[in-house]
A and B are shown apart, each in its own frame.
Chain A
């Protein structure tokens, strides 16, 4: 009986076993193996040298000395992650307040505006910042117009650029949970405080902020952990000068040619992340839930001074890409006039078309597989209230907690250990693993809203479980499945880090193509391709927003924040790059 009840979980469980548990075991094993001289692993030979290497090293004269450098890099990563979290909080709270105090009909639009950049590949957005920040780039031009001869800013390839990139990427993860908290706030309390003579800042510090504590906790967990494992941003914007842990892992696997060391670094990063997640959970569990109350009435003068520039901040790099795509010259950085040759070149590039079709095929297949695995799992888990079911549900979320670079490297090692060949199938498998929770969570959320009485009624009227599923459950959870499908489609389409590590020959996706092209030079052609990616992603976002709007029109009044907030929660770990 029991085994039948959980039968729906098996596909998902198999994916988790093969895609998470095994690779993590392999990476743990590799971390205690002996390295070969030029990369690779001596599989049979155990050694603690990698962990020793984390803390100690042989100096040039052979003496064993304490290795301060790795600690420094871990400390820098922690510092950058903390700073990113704080800056996002400082800018995110006014922005969330601004949205919450807008008229109700404007809020969904503003929320979509905050969430939409998620849909554009991280590589593309980082490239937008490269164009803005480079010497001779847009910001520099602007500065020299206003203050002639102010020279070069030297912003790109600095820690400042890395921080700008990190805040930019993670900002929405703070706004969305904060907004969800503000929705739950009883605004009558805030209003009462105001009536009793409290100035707005006092209302803010004594009423709003304490009420937002769960949202702040969620935001901190959502930002801190993935920021810690960042790889793409410090690489593209920081100029490979001051590394973060993610870059160190990548370096160990490539030019250092020391796989066990890379594996031990990954294990260390994973342990830190788990500790932080555990602490954040303990902290975030409390928090009053007063639902409803009055519409927000209190006004906070000045929040728009933060919020409006932050909206501009979110779209600035994308606008820069669109603008440079119409440059007639050979370089994106040197404006020579209006032209379409970037688009013409993109159109004639056979590799680009191949990359685009691979990306679409990959994302399409991923969606089909994850949906087929997620729906039965969600249905089976809804029926169970056991501890096993709850544990399994937690396990399903693991791909969102493990830093992407760790999972990518672990998957690569897993394939190497099994001597499987890298190719389309290996990339597809890796995408299925990290898209599974992304498809699962919205399905689970819409299942939770299904009225149990309906299912009971169907059963009473002697419908078989199958008939009930087809005729009652499936039509009701359809919007959840659609949301999950769109989200996992976009996530798979945008993925860079995993694909970069796991792809073999012949598997070139759009983000890896853009990353490769970006390394050659900044040309209007890449801007043109990026513009097309932005347009396509925005179209997808609009479609999913429309689906949600239709659903809400049919349902009882539901908090409009639910979907963007969920989207945010789901998208977070993908941004770890």
Chain B
């Protein structure tokens, strides 16, 4: 025992001497090979830690768990984290690869001057379904298929356990503004979700790939990249862009205010904006990115896949992030609490 302990302590002490970086992310959202490539090219030893949701990340950062140097977070949480002073305001002179960002992504609504967030992936939230098990093999591209499943699919539906995802989808299904401050609108959203609840097998934002690929469910509210990966495991899985609206969100790299290895953090964020590096992310996770020239390194099949690169005809269905007022968000939390009771 003592020997093992000594060995462990020694190895920890040794690794502590090299330049290091603590990188936080959701599980299964970063290609493991990329960290060793980073270490090889920069000499910085990066370790990956995972948290299960943005909400958990917020709680940890608020509670002083500031020992992450770089984290990945959704657009929705960038303004919240920034407002509480939990993020480093970026010095762009240390990030020359900012020039690689495609012009249309240089001024995102959640961070208009890119003061805090640098691009990681572009994610769409729509529906995955198993075409082999949908009655008649036909699936209507509407949130109705999800919120009011036909009799044969009741109990075969999985929802993401993410407040904003479900709230937005239900709002659009009703033809409402997701940032509405009108309590009656919120009430209608709750009614849709409560009506769906008996038909929902599970609320979970984890393992959507495995769930539909192993035939646990027929319909999964899902992210497009996860859907592509599920199709690799079960070829009959398809992705649908519901016509009422598909959420388009951008996951970003941010540096927490309390980061310790700031120089390494900048080096990492800048490195991730090189086309050849972000392309590895796209090739592994099957999400598009915001970097000029990355398509040269991306898998041609991926670029041809309408689930990854939205066909022009469907572009009108995409709905990017909008800043909602605290009053609107309070209504959202209330609906969520009532749904989960």
Contact = CB atoms under 8 A, between A and B. Distances in A.
Contacts of A254: 53, 55-56, 58-59
Nearest to A240: B203
Given A239-B202, A257-B333, A38 B80 contact: yes
B64 A157 contact: no
Contacts of B48: 351
Given A240-B204, A357-B8, A520 B47 contact: no
Interface in A512-537: 516-523
Given A62-B183, A136-B215, A254-B53, A505 B67 contact: yes
B155 to A, nearest CB: 6
A522 B209 CA distance: 10
Interface size class of chain B, counting residues whose CB lies under 8 Å from the partner chain: 35 or more
A329 B338 CA distance: 40
Interface in B285-336: 326, 329-331, 333-334, 336
Nearest to A508: B49
B207 A419 contact: no
A351 B25 CA distance: 13
Nearest to A333: B214
A412 B202 CA distance: 29
A421 B83 contact: no
A56 interface: no
B187 interface: yes
Contact of A38 (B9, B56, B58): B58
Nearest to A70: B341
Contacts of A506: 22, 47, 49, 67
B140 interface: no
Interface string B276-288: 0000000000000
A256 B333 contact: yes
Contacts of B163: 255
Contacts of A36: 84
Interface in A102-139: 134-136
A451 interface: no
A139 B257 CA distance: 49
B50 A72 contact: no
Contacts of A517: 27
Interface in A391-437: 412-413, 415-416, 419-423
A157 B201 contact: yes
Q: Which of B27, B56, B333 has the most CB of A within 10 A?
A: B27
Contacts of B329: 37-38
Interface in B97-142: none
Given A256-B333, A516-B27, A38 B49 contact: no
Contact of B183 (A60, A360, A523): A60
B202 A240 contact: yes
B4 interface: yes
Contact of A256 (B11, B65, B337): B337
B233 to A, nearest CB: 6
A149 to B, nearest CB: 15
Nearest to A517: B27
B47 A241 contact: no
Name which of A154, A254, A361, A423 has the most chain B CB atoms within 10 A of its CB. A254
Interface in B48-76: 48-50, 52-53, 55-56, 58-60, 62-69
Contact of B4 (A251, A354, A364, A507): A364
Given A134-B216, A330-B233, A506-B22, A521 B8 contact: no
B91 interface: no
Contacts of A258: 333
B151 interface: no
B213 A361 contact: no
Given A241-B202, A520-B210, A522-B207, A39 B216 contact: no
B22 A505 contact: yes
Given A254-B53, A505-B49, A413 B63 contact: yes
A285 interface: no
Given A331-B214, A412-B63, A72 B55 contact: no
A253 interface: yes
A243 B216 CA distance: 22
A420 B63 CA distance: 9
Nearest to B68: A505
Given A38-B84, A506-B47, A520-B27, A69 B338 contact: yes
Nearest to B29: A520
A62 B58 CA distance: 28
A274 B200 CA distance: 36
Contact of B63 (A360, A416, A519): A416
A61 interface: yes
B1 A69 contact: no
A506 to B, nearest CB: 5
A334 interface: yes
Contacts of B333: 255-258
Contacts of A136: 214-216
Contacts of A255: 53, 55, 162-163, 333, 336
Nearest to A368: B5
Contacts of B9: 361
Give the residue among B56, B184, B214 with the most A Cβ atoms within 10 A: B214
Of listed A58, A61, A506, A521, residue having the most chain B CB within 10 A: A521
Interface in B170-204: 183-184, 186-187, 197, 200-204
Nearest to A426: B65
Which has the most chain B C-beta neighbours within 10 Å: A60, A62, A154, A253?
Answer: A60
A504 interface: yes
Given A38-B58, A257-B55, A354-B47, A331 B201 contact: no
A256 B161 contact: no
A503 B64 CA distance: 11
Nearest to B7: A357
Contact of B200 (A62, A69, A241, A331): A241
Nearest to B256: A505
A353 B341 CA distance: 39
Interface in A231-279: 239-241, 243, 251, 253-258
A257 B48 CA distance: 25
Contacts of B202: 157, 239-241
A54 to B, nearest CB: 12
Contacts of A69: 337-338, 341
B206 A40 contact: no
B5 A39 contact: no
B6 to A, nearest CB: 10
B24 interface: yes
A39 B59 contact: yes
B28 interface: yes
Of B32, B60, B211, B329, the most chain A CB neighbours within 10 A belong to B60
A411 to B, nearest CB: 10
A505 B187 CA distance: 39
A505 B8 CA distance: 19
Contact of A364 (B1, B162, B184): B1
Contacts of B206: 518-520
B201 A334 contact: no
A523 B233 CA distance: 13
B216 A61 contact: no
B328 to A, nearest CB: 12
A416 B64 contact: yes
Interface of A: 36-40, 57-62, 69-70, 72-73, 134-136, 154, 157, 239-241, 243, 251, 253-258, 330-331, 333-334, 349-351, 354, 357, 360-361, 364-365, 412-413, 415-416, 419-423, 503-508, 516-523
Given A60-B187, A349-B32, 9 more contacts: A39-B58, A57-B334, A257-B55, A354-B47, A504-B60, A519-B52, A519-B204, A522-B214, A523-B210
Which 10 residue pairs of A and B lie closest in terms of their CB atoms, listed nearest first? A521-B210, A519-B206, A69-B341, A60-B183, A422-B65, A504-B65, A239-B202, A254-B55, A505-B67, A416-B63
13 contacts: A37-B330, A57-B334, A243-B341, A254-B55, A254-B58, A255-B162, A416-B63, A421-B64, A423-B67, A505-B69, A516-B52, A520-B210, A521-B209
